[in-house]
Amino acid sequence: MFPRPIAQRSRNARILYQVALPISLILWLLPLLGVALTSVRPSSDLAAGNYFGMPSHIAFSNYYDVFANSPIAQYILNSFKVTIPTVIGAVALSCMAGFALGVYKFRGNLIIFFLFVAGNFVPFQILMVPVRDLTLSLGVYNTTTGLALFHIAFQTGFCTLFMRNFIRALPRELIEAARVEGVAEWRIFWYIVVPLMRPAIAALSVLVFTFIWNDYFWATVLTTGASTQPVTAGLYSLNGQWVAAWHLVSAGSIIAALPPVAMFFLMQKHFIAGLTFGAVK
Amino acid sequence: MSVTQSQSKPQSWWRRNQQALTPWLFLAPGIFMFSVYVVWPIFESFRLSFFDWDGLGTKEYIGTQNYSELWGDRNFIISLKNNVIWLVLYMLAVPAGLFIALFLNQTVAGIRMYKSLFFFPFVISQVVVGLMFSWFYAPNFGLLFKLTEWLTGTGIAVLADPDLVTYGVIAAGLWPQIAYCMILYLTGLNNVSADQVEAARLDGAKGIKMLWYVILPQLRPATFIAVVVTVIGALRSFDLISIMTNGGPFGSSRVLSYYMYEQALSEYGFRMGYGAAIAVVLFGIMMFFIAGFIWKMVRDEKGGY
Amino acid sequence: MLHLKKTAGLALAVALLAGTSAIAQQRTLVFNTDTSDPAPRAAFDQLIADFEAENPDIDVVVNMFDHEGYKTAIRNFLTADAPDLANWYAGNRMAPFVNAGQFMDVSDVWESAGFDDTLASARASMTIDDKQWGVPYTYYQWGIYYNKDVYAQVGAEVPTNWDEFVANCELFKAAGIDCLTTGTSALWPAAGIFDYMNLRTNGYEFHMALTAGEVEWTDQRVRDTFAQWARIVEPGYMTANHAAIDWQDAAALLVQGRAANYVMGNFAVATFMDGGMTADNLGFMPFPEITPGIPRAEDAPTDTVHIPTGATNVADAKLFLAFLGRADVQTKLNAALGQLPVNNQSTVGDDQYLSAGFEMLSNAYALAQFFDRDAPAEMAKIGMEGFQEFMVRPEYLEDILQRLEAARVRIYQ
């Protein structure tokens, strides 16, 4: 393996490496550590100017304050209301589309495929005004439904790319055999292909969950107000209200970041598989 | 793919045609949603850019006036310049990611945890990243301010300085981007052929030579994806600017994606047509890169990888 | 949008009554509002309860929006789902909606309720095309808040004119204190300073002409304003790094005694008090005179209520507006808001800052609405960025003025 395995190097090199690892990690995560520390720092410390020393006591009450005195619980609920339907919708649509594009040869297959791929890369701003107008005329402006609808449509691009490549790598014999038996196509899809796609579905679900949870732009464009905004846009307006209240801003940020982080640690394998699919030949 | 002839029983029209029709049926919902929310809006934005519209009243056709105004608009030029800076500096994420991946590519105890933690910044929302770095850069008490004060006597408030602000925001954006590239390379490194490495070692290759001639060529797919996502990420940057500077001070950190939003939808922005024109320009720039990527992907497809 | 059924109890009682007696028809009034902060919210709850008490057959349904979200939401709900009443602001801020035909002309209410007399000070800012488009209910003063302890510390006297103010700045600078503080990351505090510099250097009529696009930004008189402003910017008497902090951060500087003066609106008093200042050490003064002899005009941003053109219950909406403009109603509402009533027959509470403000505004030559309400939106944004840039790098003044002038030509055609 490359670089040369550390076990083969001198003892000094090994020690150096073992020391360098934690130091580099702390340096890398310094902003995060700083914010985490500030989130449990009591506000009296901040008022007195104690920003970096040890907190005078661990103020978990900051978290309580954030929940009790701001609509952050509502924001988080809204995030779930947008994210979960999007994951379900995008994965379902892309399974079907990926199946169509991956299993069948027909004219226009590649063109449609590349349309999905290209659409995934467009800047959001080119879509902003028409999508907003469309959402208004459909009557779902400022609803979690409207936001979810957009995300389902947009994520279909990336997810279809993923699913189609995955399906192409599946063994064809099963499908062929089923066809010989006279099994209907949709049955092939549902009973044979979908079970084989489970790892891909897991990976994609985790990824889409993270992307949608962390989306900020469309949350700002399509929703206003605490009853519908997800936590990213909510954090922006809370930041505006909590000026100079860094202990609250930090606590709010940590809370907003928790679900994707939890998802990441629980489903690491799937997460990384999803991101790196295609990075390997 | 051969279509096996069925038995002598006469088949219904559906059974005969289902293989041809099924893909279209399965594609239909996906294509429908995608066309409505992605394809049509692109054309609609193009159309809107030829109008003068405040989002409230009637649209007024003005031809290419928005574009000629853009050309002379100082804010547009600044945004464009900033976008170029973003693009160039963001590419640092690729070698930085490679470097960290190489650093972590060992099998000591607990390395898995280290890899996960190094990847952490990518998992959190850009809004949270922006807030973290705002705190880091804050005047009077921010860590960076204190550090520069300790080193040079006067603290530097990065976000207040029109010359430094874009670099400050880019630094914030690089943090998760490097993590992303790192994970791509880590996976790629896992799949580097051990035989080739051993053979090269026996030949006496090591260090930089090994990296350049043996490892990197095998990492090409990873590098390709890393470059793609980094370019897209650089041109798309909106969240960080919105949360950290609002384009300030006095527009110095503005980029096209944020300028478009400001003109069309913000508190003082009532110019939907003008905003659409800016979006079209941004789209044009990105299309240049997207076309390049797609072309390469098509070549890979046709060549069977 | 949160639907808060107001006075559900009253409605229930009426319904019961209706069940037992004959008719009692309940009419609803839908009110979209952005008074989401605790104090304004309580004040409005009381206002609506009082209105419903006087008009038992009307039921007001309130849709509460958060303060910032409202500014984008209003652009949609005026067409998509128009309420009967909506909060907004006066001056050029209401112009886009008036010009798009989305606010209703309420000149008839002004005439019949006598507002032309009682709401005279705000009439100009509510008028476009000789018609009135809403009813103002509150405004608040702007001026200079200062830290008396800091003044005593360096031995400075309260200045009576700009020369004295600048002389004091030297004293403060020597003691390592910011003479004037501000936090411009949201841009509008910079506009407050410009408004006063211009109103004091050139007068109200010139300032109105400038914001109306009738005067060039490269005019010598504009240069005079900036020259006066440069007297505190160039020697570094202002807070450094103001472009990266919010107004509340700057308020903390005044509270901590690290700054001496702050050009701000009266809403900041609550923040100063929260930080620990008291009526003893927090001083208020009208912005000092610059050009001798210019009659004193003040910034007094006005909040208003309008009727959207798409409203369903117009008759009752007009009733509400007539109610809102009444002297006693405005007295009570503003006592709760901690701001000033527009109605010149109303009375003001005895908070010393409010009294000082009321005195100052009642005797003012004229009232401006604040730069981002007097100038059209796009000009306001470009202007405020220019003011912020001037305070960061005053050597770029020429470039800034050229840019503002080019924008003026384009925007005001």
pLDDT tens string, chain B, 305 residues long: the values are 444 444 555 667 777 777 788 889 999 999 999 999 999 999 999 999 999 998 887 889 998 999 999 998 999 999 999 999 999 999 999 999 999 999 998 888 888 889 889 998 999 999 999 988 998 898 888 888 988 998 998 888 999 999 999 999 999 999 999 999 999 999 888 888 888 888 888 888 777 888 888 888 888 888 998 999 999 999 999 999 999 998 889 999 999 999 999 999 888 888 999 999 999 999 999 999 999 988 888 888 777 54
Question: For chain B, which residues make up each domain, given as ranges?
Answer: 13-48, 73-302
What pLDDT does residue B210 have?
82
CA–CA dist B157, B176 (Å, integer): 22
Kindly state whether residue C5 falls inside one of the protein's structural domains: no
- Chain B residues touching residue A232 (CB < 8 angstroms): 125, 127, 239
Percent share of chain A, pLDDT over 90: 35
What pLDDT does residue A48 have?
66
Helix (H) or strand (E) holding B51: strand B51-52
What pLDDT does residue A49 have?
65
CA–CA dist B90, B171 (Å, integer): 9
* Of the candidates C265, C186, C176, C239, the residue with the CA atom closest to the CA atom of residue C391: C239
List the structure tokens of A54: 């040890």
Q: With an 8 Å Cβ cutoff, is C403 touching chain B?
A: yes
Q: With an 8 Å Cβ cutoff, is A260 touching chain B?
A: yes
Residue C63 CB-density burial (10 A; 0-12 exposed, 13-18 middle, 19+ buried): buried
What pLDDT does residue A43 have?
77
- Chain A residues touching residue C252 (CB < 8 angstroms): 244
CA distances from A188 to A107, A161, A201, B29, C79 (A): 22, 21, 17, 19, 50
- Same structural domain for residues C295 and C150? yes
What pLDDT does residue B301 have?
76
Smallest Cβ distance to B132: which of A35, A117, A180?
A: A35
- Same structural domain for residues C74 and C94? yes
CA–CA dist B207, B215 (Å, integer): 11
Kindly state whether residue C149 falls inside one of the protein's structural domains: yes
How many CB pairs below 8 Å do chains A and B form together?
296
What pLDDT does residue A281 have?
42
pLDDT at C275 over 60: yes
- Chain B residues touching residue A242 (CB < 8 angstroms): none
Smallest Cβ distance to B139: which of C99, C102, C244?
A: C244
CA–CA dist C47, C45 (Å, integer): 5
- Same structural domain for residues C166 and C291? yes
Return the residue matching tokens 């020597």.
C174
CA–CA dist C153, C136 (Å, integer): 42
pLDDT at C337 over 80: yes
Cβ within 8 Å, pair B246-C79:
no
Segment A11-38, tens digit of pLDDT? 888 889 989 999 999 999 988 888 888 8
- Same structural domain for residues C110 and C147? no
Least confident piece of the model among A165-174, A203-212, B88-97, C329-338 = A165-174
* Of the candidates A233, A204, A261, A227, the residue with the CA atom closest to the CA atom of residue A32: A261
Kindly state whether residue C163 falls inside one of the protein's structural domains: yes
What pLDDT does residue C19 have?
46
What pLDDT does residue C10 have?
47
pLDDT at C8 over 80: no
Residue B151 CB-density burial (10 A; 0-12 exposed, 13-18 middle, 19+ buried): exposed
SS3 state of residue B52 = strand
CATH: 3.40.630.10, 2.30.30.230, 1.10.3720.10, 3.40.50.300. Which one for B73-302? 1.10.3720.10
What pLDDT does residue C239 have?
94
Smallest Cβ distance to A126: which of B29, B279, B289?
A: B279
What pLDDT does residue A37 have?
87
SS3 state of residue B60 = strand
Kindly state whether residue C158 falls inside one of the protein's structural domains: yes
Segment C310-321, tens digit of pLDDT? 999 999 999 999
pLDDT at C117 over 50: yes
CA–CA dist A279, C115 (Å, integer): 72
Segment A139-156, tens digit of pLDDT? 898 899 999 999 999 999
Smallest Cβ distance to B74: which of C78, C377, C403?
A: C403
Pairing state between β C142-147 and B51-52? unpaired
What pLDDT does residue C188 have?
92
Smallest Cβ distance to B42: which of A17, A122, A253?
A: A122
The torsion angles phi and psi of C340, rounded to 5 degrees, stand at -105, 140
Average pLDDT over residues A217-229: 88
When divided into structural domains, chain C yields a total of: 2
Average pLDDT over residues C262-276: 89
CA–CA dist A150, C262 (Å, integer): 46
Segment A33-67, tens digit of pLDDT? 888 888 888 877 776 666 667 777 888 888 988 88
Cβ within 8 Å, pair C246-A244:
yes
pLDDT at C217 over 90: yes
What pLDDT does residue A86 have?
96
Most C-contacting residue of B268, B270, B272 (CB-CB within 10 A), to test interface = B268
Return the residue matching tokens 């790098």.
C393
The torsion angles phi and psi of C398, rounded to 5 degrees, stand at -60, -45
3-state secondary structure labels for all residues of C174-229 = HCCCEEEECCCCCCHHHHHHHHHHHHHHHCHHHHHHHHCCCCCCCCHHHHHHHHHH
Domain of C388, CATH number, reads: 3.40.190.10
Residue A279 binned pLDDT confidence (cut-offs 50, 70, 90): low
Cβ within 8 Å, pair A243-C246:
yes
Least confident piece of the model among A23-32, B76-85, C75-84, C366-375 = C75-84
Task: Give the Cα-Cα-Cα angle C70, C73, C74 (nearest 5 degrees).
Answer: 85
3-state secondary structure labels for all residues of chain C = CEEEECCHHHHHHHHHHHHHCCCCCCEEEEEEECCCCHHHHHHHHHHHHHHHHHCCCEEEEEEECCHHHHHHHHHHHHHHCCCCEEEEECHHHCHHHHHCCCECCCHHHHHHHCHHHHCHHHHHHHEECCEECCEEEEECCEEEEEEHHHHHHHCCCCCCEHHHHHHHHHHHHHCCCEEEECCCCCCHHHHHHHHHHHHHHHCHHHHHHHHCCCCCCCCHHHHHHHHHHHHHHCCCCECCCHHHCCHHHHHHHHHCCCEEEEEEECCHHHHHHHHCCCCCCEEEECCCECCCCCCCCEECCEEEEECECCCCCHHHHHHHHHHHCCHHHHHHHHHHHCCECCCCCCCCCCCHHHHHHHHHHHCCCCEECCHHHHCCHHHHHHHHHHHHHHHHCHHHHHHHHHHHHHHHHHHCC
Cβ within 8 Å, pair C252-A244:
yes
- Chain A residues touching residue C69 (CB < 8 angstroms): 224-226, 229, 237
Average pLDDT over residues C266-273: 87
The torsion angles phi and psi of B193, rounded to 5 degrees, stand at -70, 120
User: Is B269:B277 a contact under the CB 8 Å cutoff?
Assistant: no
CA–CA dist B182, B173 (Å, integer): 15
What secondary structure letter does DSSP report for B61? E
Greater pLDDT, C88 or B206: C88
What pLDDT does residue A50 have?
66
Task: Give the Cα-Cα-Cα angle B173, B292, B277 (nearest 5 degrees).
Answer: 65
What pLDDT does residue C18 have?
46
Kindly state whether residue C369 falls inside one of the protein's structural domains: no
Average pLDDT over residues A111-138: 91
Q: With an 8 Å Cβ cutoff, is C70 touching chain A?
A: yes
The torsion angles phi and psi of B293, rounded to 5 degrees, stand at -65, -45
- Chain C residues touching residue A139 (CB < 8 angstroms): 80
Terminal CA-CA length for chain A: 17
CA distances from C218 to A256, C185, C213, C390 (A): 48, 26, 12, 14
CA distances from B14 to A184, B1, B11, B198 (A): 10, 19, 8, 58
CA–CA dist B166, A236 (Å, integer): 20
The torsion angles phi and psi of A113, rounded to 5 degrees, stand at -60, -50
pLDDT at C6 over 70: no
- Same structural domain for residues C82 and C174? no
Q: With an 8 Å Cβ cutoff, is A19 touching chain B?
A: no
Residue C136: alpha-carbon gap to chain centroid: 11
Least confident piece of the model among B75-79, B112-116, C62-66, C172-176 = C62-66
Q: With an 8 Å Cβ cutoff, is A36 touching chain C?
A: no
* Of the candidates C5, C6, C2, C8, the residue with the CA atom closest to the CA atom of residue C34: C2
* Of the candidates C158, A218, A127, the residue with the CA atom closest to the CA atom of residue B44: A127
Smallest Cβ distance to A260: which of B105, B124, B286?
A: B124
- Helices marked H in A125-227: 125-138, 144-168, 173-181, 185-187, 194-196, 198-213, 217-222
Cβ within 8 Å, pair A129-B298:
no
Q: With an 8 Å Cβ cutoff, is A51 touching chain C?
A: no
Residue C9 binned pLDDT confidence (cut-offs 50, 70, 90): very low
- Same structural domain for residues C180 and C315? no
Query: What domain range is C386 assigned to?
Result: 142-299+376-411
User: Is A215:A222 a contact under the CB 8 Å cutoff?
Assistant: no
CA–CA dist B116, B98 (Å, integer): 16
Residue C3 binned pLDDT confidence (cut-offs 50, 70, 90): very low
What pLDDT does residue C396 have?
95
User: Is B120:A210 a contact under the CB 8 Å cutoff?
Assistant: no
CA–CA dist A24, B99 (Å, integer): 13
- Same structural domain for residues C310 and C293? no
How many CB pairs below 8 Å do chains A and C form together?
37
CA–CA dist A110, B199 (Å, integer): 40
pLDDT at C141 over 70: yes
User: Is C372:C380 a contact under the CB 8 Å cutoff?
Assistant: yes
